[in-house]
């Protein structure tokens, strides 16, 4: 019988990614005036890591090959761009990527093997709220947002990213096939609390992301279009209200520079204008890796890294990166649609929607389709906690995919078992089929 694992060759895809990483890092390494041994090392290590994780690892741990390859590609692009601008950042990102792969492994096994979600979820709720409140107490302001804790040896740590993971699990658990608002209430209150804390930290972008994902998960699990629509309307109304409240001055600033950044070209609009100029400068094919002036774009390593990609690699490549994100989302959604149990389906769906909304919001902000929000690009942006948590989300997706594979194999086993039983016990007397069937069932019941 044909195996259920998708054996279609992923080889060319992986080869392209490996080649890309190797060539770019080699180019960086041989940049005059001297040979950069660190880059050379990376030029070997990164493609090797990619090959191991996409070809070797799935043989031992159940993992989805396409997801692995695409995340490798995106993280690779991020590492390479960061390395070409500031080598220390690139190196740190690479190390965190390796760490993230480990976290992904943990995520896979976590989702694949844990059965009793209930106690875990009840534990996670207070832990998440606590983690979210931490920056308010000991955190530092980052632009207008207070969501980072600076730890001396660890670097910057963003608790909201860890909470993201826990929130996914909690929401998936409480929303899965439970009838009635009463059962869902703990999850809804949890989301409300998270949003409240995020608003206190003035991290509006992340709050929007969480809210939309939770709303989508609610709609999927209950099918109650009316309430979901009300939720959307409520979000829009509160956005308008926030625009007019005096405390939220920076919201007004953001909307103003979205409408016409050229008015404040040297002030608040500087960021988006530099990003647009970078995108325009790249043209179709880019200015070239290492050429161009990526450093003048403010926040080039976090929010505007997409502008840097368009400047150095060009629009064709930039569009390819966005399409890779879309392919990732497509795979995540297809995993969610195939899951057998509502918990896994919701988990996969929530993870994918979260990534999708995050990607859309940040790219939309960079190309001035929507106002900037301060979210970063998953996988590509510089940021340890963000990278690790996004990789863990992918790990959850791997886990759900692994469950589906296991279920499908069980189906085959069942079918073969039935046939076996049938053949084994009753390999003669074809006219007695009906009767024998009944006997078969009674034997099983006993």
Which residue of 241, 243, 415, 433 would you call a contact of other proteins, by CB under 8 A? Answer: 415
In 30-86, which ranges are continuous DSSP H helix? 37-51, 65-85
Using the rule CB under 8 A, is 338 a contact of other proteins?
A: yes
- Sequence-ordered list of residues with C-beta below 8 angstroms from that of 417, at least 6 positions apart, any chain: none
Minimum gap (Å) between residue 22 Cβ and other proteins:
11
- Of 261-280, binders to other proteins (CB under 8 A) are 265-266, 273-274, 276-277, 279-280
Measured distance CA(17)–CA(285) in Å, rounded = 18
Neighbours of 389 (CB within 10 A): 23
Question: Tokens for 405?
Answer: 């594979």
Which residue of 10, 55, 199, 256 would you call a contact of other proteins, by CB under 8 A?
10
**To the nearest whole angstrom, how small is the minimum distance from the Cβ of residue 214 to other proteins?**
12
Interface with other proteins (CB under 8 A), residue from 102, 130, 155, 288: 288
| 232 belongs to the binding site for other proteins (CB under 8 A) | no
**Count of Cβ atoms closer than 10 Å to residue 129 Cβ:** 17
Q: Does 336 bind other proteins (CB under 8 A)?
A: yes
What H or E segment, with its residue span, contains residue 95? helix 87-113
CB of 196 to other proteins, least distance (A): 25
Give 103 or 345: the residue with its C-beta nearer to other proteins.
345
Q: Which is nearer to other proteins, 239 or 277 (CB)?
A: 277
C-beta closer to other proteins: residue 150 or 319: 319
Q: Quick one: which segment of 44-52, 185-193, 243-251, 358-366 binds other proteins (CB under 8 A)?
A: 358-366
Write down the least CB distance from residue 327 to other proteins, Å.
4
- Helix (H), strand (E) at residue 140: strand 140-142
148-177 residues near other proteins, rule: CB under 8 A? 177
Does position 421 interact with other proteins (CB under 8 A)? The reply is yes
CA distance 256 to 409: 56
- Beta-bridge partner residues of 151: 155
| Torsion of Cα atoms, 46 then 289 then 321 then 285, to 10° | -150
Q: How far is the CB of 145 from other proteins (least distance, A)?
A: 24
Q: Is 281 in the site for other proteins (CB under 8 A)?
A: yes
Q: How far apart are CA 47 and CA 290, in angstroms?
A: 20
For the sheet with 140-142, list strands across it: 140-142, 145-151, 155-157
Q: Return the range that interacts with other proteins (CB under 8 A); candidates 93-101, 154-162, 203-211, 219-227.
A: 219-227
Distance of alpha carbon 240 from the chain centroid: 28
How far apart are alpha carbons 76 and 90 in whole angstroms? Answer: 10
- Is residue 245 near other proteins by the rule CB under 8 A? no
**Identity of the residue, 66 or 111, whose beta carbon is nearer to other proteins in the bound complex:** 66
Is the separation of the CB atoms in 349 and 333 below 8 Å?
A: yes
- Residues from 85 through 104 that contact other proteins (CB under 8 A): none
């Amino acid at each position: 019988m044909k195996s259920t694992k998708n054996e279609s060759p992923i080889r060319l895809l992986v080869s392209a990614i490996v080649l890309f990483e190797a060539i770019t890092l080699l180019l960086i390494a041989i940049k005059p005036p001297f040979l950069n041994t660190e880059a050379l090392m990376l030029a070997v290590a990164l493609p090797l890591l990619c090959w191991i994780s996409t070809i070797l690892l799935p043989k031992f741990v159940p993992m989805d090959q396409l997801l692995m390859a695409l995340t490798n590609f995106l993280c690779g692009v991020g590492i390479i761009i960061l390395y070409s601008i500031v080598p220390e950042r690139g190196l740190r990102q690479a190390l965190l990527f390796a760490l993230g792969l480990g976290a992904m492994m943990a995520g896979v096994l976590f989702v694949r093997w844990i059965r009793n979600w209930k106690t875990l979820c009840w534990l996670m709720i207070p832990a998440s709220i606590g983690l979210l409140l931490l920056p308010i107490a000991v955190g530092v302001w980052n632009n207008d947002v207070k969501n980072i804790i600076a730890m001396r040896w660890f670097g910057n740590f963003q608790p909201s990213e860890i909470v993201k993971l826990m929130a996914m699990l909690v929401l998936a658990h409480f929303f899965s096939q439970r009838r009635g608002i009463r059962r869902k209430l703990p999850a809804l209150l949890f989301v409300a609390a998270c949003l409240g804390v995020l608003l206190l930290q003035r991290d509006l972008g992340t709050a929007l992301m969480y809210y939309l994902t939770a709303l989508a998960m609610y709609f999927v699990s209950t099918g109650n279009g009316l309430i979901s629509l009300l939720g959307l309307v409520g979000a829009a109304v509160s956005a308008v209200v926030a625009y007019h409240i005096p405390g939220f001055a920076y919201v007004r600033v953001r909307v103003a520079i979205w409408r016409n950044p050229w008015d404040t070209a040297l002030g608040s609009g500087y960021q988006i204008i530099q990003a647009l100029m970078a995108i325009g400068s790249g043209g179709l094919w880019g200015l070239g890796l290492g050429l161009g002036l990526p450093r003048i774009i403010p926040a080039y390593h976090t929010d505007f890294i997409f502008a840097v990609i368009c400047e150095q690699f060009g629009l064709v490549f930039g569009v390819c990166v966005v399409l890779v994100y879309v392919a990732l989302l497509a795979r995540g959604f297809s995993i969610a649609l195939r899951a057998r149990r509502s918990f896994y389906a919701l988990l996969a769906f929530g993870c994918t929607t979260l990534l999708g909304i995050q990607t859309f919001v940040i790219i939309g902000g960079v190309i001035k389709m929507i106002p900037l929000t301060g979210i970063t690009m998953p996988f590509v942006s510089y940021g340890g906690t963000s990278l690790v948590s996004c990789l863990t989300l992918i790990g959850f997706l791997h886990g759900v995919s692994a469950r589906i594979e296991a279920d499908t194999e069980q189906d085959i086993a069942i079918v073969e078992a039935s046939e076996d039983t049938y053949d084994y016990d009753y390999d003669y007397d074809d006219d007695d089929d009906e009767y024998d069937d009944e006997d078969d069932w009674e034997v099983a019941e006993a």
